Amino acid sequence: MANPFAALSATQRHAALQATTSVLGANAMPSIRALTGGVSGAFVFLIETNGRRFVLRIEGPESPLRNPHQYHSMRIAAHEGIAPRLHYLDAPNRVAMMDFIEDRPLEGYPDGSSGLARAIGAMLKKQQSAPLFPYFLDYPEIVNRLWTHVCKTGLFVDGLLDEASSRLTEIRGTYGLRAEHFVSSHNDVLPRNVLFDGERLWLIDWETAYCNDPLVDVATALDNFAQSPELEEMLLLAWLGREPDRPLRDRLTQVRALTRLHYAGVLFSASALGPRDRPDDNLSSLSSAQFERAIREKRLVPGTAETSHALGKMFLTSFLTGSIPPGLPPMYMR
């Protein structure tokens, strides 16, 4: 039988065996198979034994902006019942073993999109009431570092991104939330990171979790799970317990712009790794309908640099205009 850990380094294989032995015992003979690791580059395995199923996750290479607090935050989230139960955690070697959640389509959530919007809002309320995650960086600074990287990739012709850079500078200059108002935040509330087990929701993939502006998770959740004014109000009410006042709505508009530029930066960083003949001289973006059609007709393939580039332009347009960015199934962001 092929070694399921063959793709791992020797250090990672040792850490994986330590995790499985610690949880299952030295004499266990589990079934192990690799799962896809999403966009993070992590190695993920499904482990089955005696009717029990676990996920073993081994983090990939460190990035320059790696959050050092993800495992501390994950432990808190698991204890609060927001993340799946943790059975093993080796933070120095970046290894975690947790319950496997049998995921069902979010489209099947009870009461449809309205029920899902309310459930997402309630989940964020519970998460933000959890013991405080450690501090990493202020969110506008993270967005700025990512966007500065994009501007240096040569992906676009000189000057084409100046309008976006100027708007980011303006937002950073007026952003005034102080750290004492921060809460425990996941910071990546996308459909790929929300699991529905048939009864309730779970949040997974805590690489970006640290204490942050409470509106960051709310902004991302609104753009992904509440793409109508009615659904937005349902999610906000479930999160806040009342209707937001005008100052909060104004600040939410500002934070939504930051989250949209953040995802544009993530997607452009991915597209910059692919081949290209010359710098792009056009920021025109597809509409959501045009993008969906291109995916269906296989003119764009999920997971490719070309698709990341197209999505990045869509998020950048949203940042610049205030339009709603594409709400996409998990496959498009992998």
**What is the rounded distance in angstroms from the CA atom of residue 243 to the CA atom of residue 108?**
27
In a domain, residue 179? The reply is: yes
Lowest mean pLDDT across 23-32, 39-48, 229-238, 277-286: 39-48
Structure confidence at residue 246 as a pLDDT band (50, 70, 90): very high
**What is the rounded distance in angstroms from the CA atom of residue 137 to the CA atom of residue 65?**
10
Decide if pLDDT at 226 tops 50: yes
Q: Which residues of 290-328 are buried (b: 16+ CB within 10 A; e: fewer)?
A: ebbebbeeeebeeeeebbbbbbbbbbbbbbbeeebbbeb
Statement to judge: residues 220 and 116 lie in one domain:
yes
- φ and ψ at residue 181, rounded to 5 degrees: -100, 5
Per-chain mean pLDDT for the chain: 92
For position 333, what pLDDT does the model report? 47
pLDDT tens per residue across span 301-316: 998 999 999 999 999 9
pLDDT tens per residue across span 65-90: 688 999 999 999 999 999 999 999 99
Counted domains in the chain: 2
In a domain, residue 325? The reply is: yes
pTM of the predicted model, to two decimals? 0.92
DSSP type of residue 156 = B
- φ and ψ at residue 5, rounded to 5 degrees: -100, 15
Q: Which domain holds residue 190?
A: 106-333
For position 26, what pLDDT does the model report? 87
The CATH number assigned to the domain holding 27 equals 3.30.200.20
**What is the rounded distance in angstroms from the CA atom of residue 122 to the CA atom of residue 145?**
31
For position 18, what pLDDT does the model report? 94
Structure confidence at residue 129 as a pLDDT band (50, 70, 90): very high
For position 334, what pLDDT does the model report? 42
Statement to judge: residues 63 and 160 lie in one domain:
no
Q: Tokens 């600040």 appear where?
A: 251
Position with higher pLDDT, 39 vs 295: 295
